[in-house]
Structure 1
């Protein structure tokens, strides 16, 4: 009986298997890149996030030549986990959630672009109580932040409170977390708390939409500027795809009606490049406030 044999030597068989495995992996990578999975921290109502993203998603599909899917997440932590566990490809982070993702992933997250407004972003403190005119007046009062992982709704307002020698956990009667900026306005307006803090962009949007009774609610303190939001991706995203995404944002032209709609919905004058170093102050503030583990 003749023995069967392979026409390939052991070395060639090994090479053949490696090539086959490589092609399989490549095809898996290619199919994975047929859809760009995008999300955002849920700092506003889910329906509002979807509305804001729709024309941006259509533009990205056109520029990238691939399907772009917006995947809402339940909370801020889920946006961080989604990116570093490779369930998401790109996320709209606040400064603090970007820092969390950067630390959790051991620097495997890259911020691509930010709005020009995010170079000097601010938070506002609001109240219905006319006796509250400065941060020190919050002692003994009830107060709400936004989400615990929010930069402009928690981390930076807490930092400025601490700088004013007010520890929210011990000096206030009660603190709460509304979960989102628009919910903070509703809590203060509805008398559930004496005061609250939120990001200035959402505050100004609600004012423009006539959704705030300014005879009832007013701003009594505005923070100094700090770096905040950005669009981030994983470091393992192909460089050419990263460049296409970055260019799509940087080339948005307010003189173009379609681009202007996107910029207006994103509450942006224009997008500019950003880098991880811009968020060092946020990281330091998070450490100082005991919020970064």
Structure 2
């Protein structure tokens, strides 16, 4: 069984892994700021090719809005996205709520969440299964379950928290816990019979259903969590106020009634972007501290 204590170990080994250069795919290329370039990345909650596809029109839009060359650099895991921003190897990152909290704590408040999608102020996770025996969270006892990444808000931290609220301890009540690394990989694990159930981001689940990449008659949602704040675009606090203002204004100006903007918003699964602030993520920070992930 994978213990939740492994997450605490992850924190202690974080620096060593980074020092070994295992986390950023292009560490040397990102080592110093490049004039005229906005260096962007995102937590790898989906396949790298999908992240690149989703970001391409947004990157082109931001380049026009800021007058900068926008470079998207994929990272190998969630920890790398945090490290990239707090060590000035990146300028802007698409974080989940938990990775924002990690970056905010590690940098001692030197990162700023600028905007989030309208859906991110009331985000949810879903639990899925292909087993007819699983109808509630209580039915997970004795079964196998896959979360996404260990640092995922919607694919691990919040689902685990809501399981505990339902008196289901993933470490002691389940037969086995696995970590798929990404939301789409969690769906594949459930659909392939590798685990009895999985927890993931509701937006990715709906996208896979809409694209007919999963059959909801074979793999079904049996529990949807309450809402919480989640994803946001975060920048370094030492970014020039003028550039921060341009970036935020560009996101807030996106309009579904404009075809080019609609393409961007559809790929981001958003109707619009709205301002956000660090205080919105206090409940996620509290959940992480209660789990022993932050001290």
The normalised TM-score by structure 1 is 0.89
Equivalent of residue 195 in structure 2, options 158, 183, 193: 193
Q: Which runs of no fewer than 5 residues in structure 2 stay unpaired?
A: 1-32
Determine the structure 1 residue equivalent to 2:57.
55
Greater mean alpha carbon deviation, residues 271-280 or residues 208-217: 208-217
Q: CA deviation at 1:32?
A: 3.0
Determine the structure 1 residue equivalent to 2:83.
81
Distance 2:281 2:122 in 1: 12
Equivalent of residue 232 in structure 1, options 231, 234, 238: 234
Q: Residue 112 of structure 1 contacts residue 274 of structure 1 at CA under 8 Å; is this kept in 2?
A: yes
Determine the structure 1 residue equivalent to 2:136.
134
Number of aligned pairs?
Answer: 263
Q: CA deviation at 1:231?
A: 0.1
Q: CA RMSD in A?
A: 0.8
Q: CA deviation at 1:208?
A: 0.3
Determine the structure 2 residue equivalent to 1:66.
68
Question: Which whole-Å deviations, capped at 9, do the CAs of 1:68-96 have from their partners, x for residues lacking one?
Answer: 00000000000000000100000000000
Q: Secondary structure in 1 aligned to 2:116?
A: strand
Equivalent of residue 277 in structure 1, options 251, 276, 279: 279
Distance 1:269 1:37 in 2: 25
Distance 1:290 1:125 in 2: 23
Q: CA deviation at 1:213?
A: 1.4
Q: Residue 141 of structure 1 contacts residue 174 of structure 1 at CA under 8 Å; is this kept in 2?
A: yes
Q: CA deviation at 1:214?
A: 1.7
Q: Residue 158 of structure 1 contacts residue 289 of structure 1 at CA under 8 Å; is this kept in 2?
A: no
Q: Which runs of no fewer than 5 residues in structure 1 stay unpaired?
A: 1-30
Q: CA deviation at 1:134?
A: 0.4
Q: CA deviation at 1:249?
A: 0.1
Determine the structure 1 residue equivalent to 2:40.
38
Q: Residue 252 of structure 1 contacts residue 259 of structure 1 at CA under 8 Å; is this kept in 2?
A: yes
Question: Which whole-Å deviations, capped at 9, do the CAs of 1:85-135 have from their partners, x for residues lacking one?
Answer: 100000000000000000000000000000000010000000011111000
Question: Which whole-Å deviations, capped at 9, do the CAs of 1:28-61 have from their partners, x for residues lacking one?
Answer: xxx7331000000000000000000000000111
Distance 2:136 2:79 in 1: 32
The normalised TM-score by structure 2 is 0.88
1:90 matched to 2:69? The reply is: no
Question: Which whole-Å deviations, capped at 9, do the CAs of 1:169-212 have from their partners, x for residues lacking one?
Answer: 11100000000000000000000000000000000000000011
Determine the structure 2 residue equivalent to 1:246.
248
Structure number with greater Rg is 1
Distance 1:67 1:130 in 2: 51
Aligned pairs for 1:211-226 (under 5 A) are: 211-226=213-228
Distance 2:84 2:216 in 1: 38
Distance 1:153 1:110 in 2: 23
Determine the structure 2 residue equivalent to 1:26.
none
Distance 1:131 1:215 in 2: 15
Q: CA deviation at 1:288?
A: 1.3
